[in-house]
Amino acid sequence: MDRVALRGLKARGHHGVFPKEREEGQTFIVDIVLGLDTRPAAADDDLTKTVHYGIVAEEVVAVVEGEPVNLIETLAERIAQACLKHEGVEEVEVRVHKPDAPITVPFDDVTVTITRSRV
């Protein structure tokens, strides 16, 4: 299976279990890796035979900016389901970064990574 990756998609969302997170929001960063067969697109040099990663990027940002959820696990699941709606995408790996998570000790990042497929 071939891979198309988008890394570092940034959007502001209001996800989290604490009222401050819901009220003020924070930046989330999303990486996705789409699994699909790119041979038909490459053979014909035809965008319609592959995934349009620009559209996928816009949809991912819309999910992050959309309805708030408590957990980034839930956010990752919603992003994965949006990606799998694209014809030809057989699987997706989603990593959601929450670099401003409300943690009381020094840290660089918090991430949740999931893999989902059509199977």
Give the start-to-end residue ranges of the domains of the chain: 1-100
Whether 98 is a known active-site residue: answer: yes
User: What is the rounded average pLDDT of the residues 54-82?
Assistant: 98
Instruction: Examine the pLDDT at 92 and tell me if it is beyond 80.
Output: yes
**Percent residues over pLDDT 70 in the chain:** 100
Q: Place 119 in a pLDDT band, splitting at 50, 70 and 90.
A: confident
Q: What's the token pair of residue 116? A: 């989902």
If phi > 0 it is left, if psi is from -120 to 50 it is alpha, else beta; for residue 70 that is alpha
- Active-site position among 10, 20, 49, 98: 98
> CATH topology for 1-100?
GTP Cyclohydrolase I, domain 2 (3.30.1130)
What's the CA gap between 26 and 72, in Å, rounded?
A: 12
